[in-house]
Amino acid sequence: MATATTTAAPGRSEAPGAAPARTHCPYCALQCGMSLAPRDDASALPVEVSPRDFPTNRGGLCQKGWTSATVLRATDRITTPLLRGADGELHPASWDAALDVVASGIARVRSEHGRDAVAVFGGGGLTNEKAYALGKFARTVLRTANIDYNGRFCMASAAAGANRAFGADRGLPFPLADLGGADAVLLLGSNLAETMPPSVQHLAGVRSRGGLVVVDPRRSATAALTGDPEDQGEGLHLQPVPGTDLVVLLALLHVVVVEGLVDEAYVAARTTGFDDVRRSVMAWWPERAETVCGVPAERLRHVARLLAAASPSRGGGGAYLLTGRGVEQSTQGTATVTATVNLALALGLPGRVGSGYGAITGQGNGQGGREHGQKADQLPGYRRIDDPAARAHVAAVWGVDPETIPGPGMPAVTLLRSLAAPASPDGTGGGPRALLVHGSNVVVSAPNADRVVDGLRALDLLVVCDLVPSETALLADVVLPVTQWAEEEGTMTSLEGRVIRRRRALDPPGEARSELWILAELARRLGSDVAFPTDPAVVFDELARASAGGVADYSGLSHARLDADEDDGGPGLFWPVPAGAPDAGQAGAPHPGTPRMFLDRFATPDGRARMVAVDHVGPSDDVRPDAPLYLVTGRVLQHYQSGAQTRRVPELDRLVPAPFVELHPVLGLRLGVGDGDRARLTTRRGEIEAVARWTDRIRPDTVFIPFHWSGEGSVNRVTTDATDPVSGMPEFKVCAVDVRRAAGTQEVVA
C-alpha cells in the first residue's frame, strides 16, 4: 500500500505527482473515504477526487463529495486577512496588523467589561485538534466562560438524552454497518437519503426484510425508501403532525407494555426507572395518541409489534432506533430522544450486538466537536466543566491552576441572543461585546437569525475565521483566512465514533493559515504563557492526554498510530481507546478501541441505563388562527448546512439555486398559491418569500423550506429561537406560519 503523508509539517506539502492523499469528504459526519490525487493541470482543479472503500461509504460518494474539490478554488476564497476600514469596507491587511487589532480589541473589551464579555463560537466542522485548541484558548487565554458552538444547533438534545440514559454520548455506539443485519430500523426525523446518501447502502438488508420504518411529516427521499404507500413493501412511513413525534414514541412504548412485549429480563438486569416510565406511557393509548399525532392507532400498534418481533428477546434479528434532527430540533428534543431510548431499553436493544439506539450525527466532526471542550459546559474528554476532578485533570495538562478555569457558560442560542445586551443598572448581566467565530455561519444557520444579525452588528469586535466571505464573515471587523479540509492535517470523529485522519493534499492558497497557528499567535499577543503547539500531531497528543480517563478517552491514540493502523488496512479506531493494554493478559498490545459500547455495562455509576419518564408538551410556537400552518425546515441533497461551501460549487448551485417552499396542492388551491408562484411566509419573527413547489409528499397542514440560503428566502430568519430546557437546542423544526401568495404573482385558478 502506498505510504501517504503522515505528519507533514505545517507549511510543507507533497510535491506534485505524489501519492494521492487518503482523506475524507469535507462535509457530513458520514466522512466518506476519498483520495485526493494532486493534478498539475493549472486550468483544472488542484486535486482529483476519487472515492475509497471505507466502511461508511463503501466506495460511494454523493454529488457534494464528488464536487468537493471545487471549493478549494472558490473564486472568492479569502487569501489574506481582512480589516474593516474607516470607510466601512473590508480591506486586505497583513497578519500582524490583523492579529494586533484582534488582540488589542480583546484586551480592551476584557478590561472594560470583564472576561466573560469576550465570547467564542465554534463549529462542528473543525478538526478535533482545532476544537480542542479553541476550548483551551477560551478557558486559559481568554478565561471566558462563554464558549459554545453550532453543535448546540444539531446534537445537543441527542447528547443530553444519551448522556442522561447511558452516561455517554457516542452518536452511534456501534458501527454503521451493523444496521445491515437488523430486522427493523426505526428512523425518526432523519432524511439520510439526502443528507448522507451513501449511507442508504446500510439499509438494504432491513428494506429487503420489510423492516424500515421512517417517521417524518414529509414523504422525504428517505421515507420513500419504505416503498409504495399502498403495498408497504419495504417498510412503513408514519407521517405525524409536526412536533408530535414524542407522542408516536409514547404510544409505541404503551403498546409494547400493554401487549407484554417488554424484555423483562433485560429491563430488570440493565436498567433503572422502568416503573415510572411504564406508568407514564399508560396515558398514551394509541387511539388517544392518534388524536394528537395524526397517525392511525392501528399503524402505531403495527409498528410496535414489528419492532418487538425484531428484538433479540423475541428471537428477532435485531432492531435499531435512530433519531435525527427532525425530532431533536425541538423544545422537547431531549424528551423525544429519551422516549426513543426508553423504547429501545424496554425492547432490550442498547448494548446488544446487532441492536441499539443511536443518533445520526450531522456535521463532519459533529461527534468529535462535542467531545473536546468547545461546549459551554464541558472540558476535553467529554468531561463536565463543573466536575472538580475533571478540572484538576485538565488543568494539569494545560499547566494552569484549576481555579483559573471558568465555569459553565451560556449555550449557543442564549449566547447569540445576549450579544451586546446592555448590563443591568448594577453592572451585571451584560452580554458579550466581542465574539470570535470559527467554522460557523450563524447568520444563515442560527434560528431567528435577523435578531442574531442585530447582535453581531452591535458588537465592539467581531472576528470571523473563514474560507470564504460567508454572510457572517461579511459582518466582521476582522476576517482571518483559514485552511480547509484538503489543506490541513488532523483527525475527525465520524458519526460512529470512529477516529479518522484528515490529510493534507495541497498547500493553502495565499496567506490562509490554520486556526492552530492563529490561536497560538493570539495567545502570545495576549501575554499568555500557556503553550499552543501548531503541529496537529502534537496538539492531538495533548488532546489525548487531556481526554485520558474521560468518557471520550483518546489517550491510546496518536496520528502515528492512526496512520500505521490505516497502512495495515484498518479504517480508524472507535473511542474509547484508553492508553495501555485492555487487560494484563495481552501485555504490550494496545487497546483495540471500542466498536460496540455498553455490551457489559452502561457508562453510568452503577452500570445501568437510566429510564426517565417524559411527556408531550407540544411546540413552543403552535398553530393559531393567524398562523394556522406548520413550517418545517430541512436540507436538500445538493447543499450542506448554511451553503457557504456548496453554493460556491456551480454544479450544485445550478441544480438547486434558491430556496423553495413545498406545499400540498390541496393547500395551494386553498391559499391561491400555485405551483411556481412566489409565496410569502409570515411567522412571529418576520417574513420571507420563496417559490412554491406543489408536492403531495407533504401533509396539507405543513409547508417545508430548506435552510441553506441567506437573503429573502432564508428560512432561519423566521424560525423560532425557543430552546429545549435541558439541552439548550433551538426548535428549528417546527413553528406556526401564515402562507400567502406574494404580491405581484398571478392568481391561480382553482
| Sites for another protein among residues 194-253 (CB under 8 A) | 194, 197-201, 219, 221, 228-229, 241, 243-244
- The runs of H, that is alpha helices, within 117-258 are 128-136, 156-166, 192-195, 204-208, 221-224, 245-258
Looking at 257-265, 378-386, 392-400, 505-513, which segment touches another protein (CB under 8 A)? 257-265
Q: Which of 96, 112, 264, 287 binds another protein (CB under 8 A)?
A: 287
Q: Cell 467554522 sits at which residue?
A: 439
Q: Is 287 helix (H, G, I), strand (E, B) or coil?
A: helix
Give CA–CA dist 654/657, Å, rounded. Answer: 5
Considering only residues 398 to 437 of the shown chain, the ones binding another protein according to CB under 8 A are: 410-411, 414, 417-418, 421, 429, 431
700 binds another protein (CB under 8 A): yes
314 binds another protein (CB under 8 A): no
Smaller CB separation from another protein, 58 or 561: 58
> Taking CB under 8 A as the rule, which mask of x and - marks residues 4-43 in contact with another protein?
----------------------------------------
Considering only residues 480 to 539 of the shown chain, the ones binding another protein according to CB under 8 A are: none
Looking at 62-70, 397-405, 519-527, 598-606, which segment touches another protein (CB under 8 A)? 62-70
Q: 707 near 633, Cβ under 8 Å?
A: yes
Give CA–CA dist 346/506, Å, rounded. Answer: 51
Burial 566-601 (b: 16+ CB within 10 A, else e): beeeebbbbbbbbbeeeeeeeeeebbebbbbbbeee
Q: 364 near 26, Cβ under 8 Å?
A: yes
Q: 226 near 214, Cβ under 8 Å?
A: yes
Using CA atoms, how far residue 504 sits from 9, 45, 209, 542, 684, in Å, is 10, 15, 42, 21, 46
Smaller CB separation from another protein, 53 or 401: 53
Minimum distance from CB of 192 to another protein (Å)? 9
Q: 596 near 353, Cβ under 8 Å?
A: yes
Considering only residues 265 to 284 of the shown chain, the ones binding another protein according to CB under 8 A are: 276, 278-280, 282-284
Using CA atoms, how far residue 628 sits from 633, 712, 735, 737, in Å, is 17, 22, 10, 6
Beta bridge partner(s), residue 238:
215
Looking at 6-14, 514-522, 615-623, 641-649, which segment touches another protein (CB under 8 A)? 615-623
Q: Note if the bond before 16 is cis, omega within 30 degrees.
A: no
614 binds another protein (CB under 8 A): yes
612 binds another protein (CB under 8 A): yes
What the block records as the C-alpha cell of 734 is 417546527
Q: Which of 290, 477, 521, 542 binds another protein (CB under 8 A)?
A: 290
DSSP 109-148: HHHHH-GGGEEEEE-TTS-HHHHHHHHHIIIIII--S-EE
- The runs of H, that is alpha helices, within 271-324 are 274-281, 286-293, 297-310
Looking at 121-129, 321-329, 484-492, 723-731, which segment touches another protein (CB under 8 A)? 723-731
Smaller CB separation from another protein, 96 or 696: 696
112 binds another protein (CB under 8 A): no
Q: Which of 17, 260, 388, 605 binds another protein (CB under 8 A)?
A: 260
Minimum distance from CB of 568 to another protein (Å)? 27
> Taking CB under 8 A as the rule, which mask of x and - marks residues 651-670 in contact with another protein?
----x--------xxxx-xx
* HEC string for 682-725: EECCEEEEEEEEECCCECCCEEEEECCCCHHHCHHHCCCCCECC
726 binds another protein (CB under 8 A): yes
The residue count for binding another protein (CB under 8 A) is: 89
686 binds another protein (CB under 8 A): no
Minimum distance from CB of 287 to another protein (Å)? 4
Give CA–CA dist 336/316, Å, rounded. Answer: 25
Considering only residues 121 to 160 of the shown chain, the ones binding another protein according to CB under 8 A are: none
Considering only residues 65 to 104 of the shown chain, the ones binding another protein according to CB under 8 A are: 66
Looking at 4-12, 57-65, 458-466, 642-650, which segment touches another protein (CB under 8 A)? 57-65
Smaller CB separation from another protein, 161 or 351: 161
Considering only residues 322 to 381 of the shown chain, the ones binding another protein according to CB under 8 A are: 331, 335
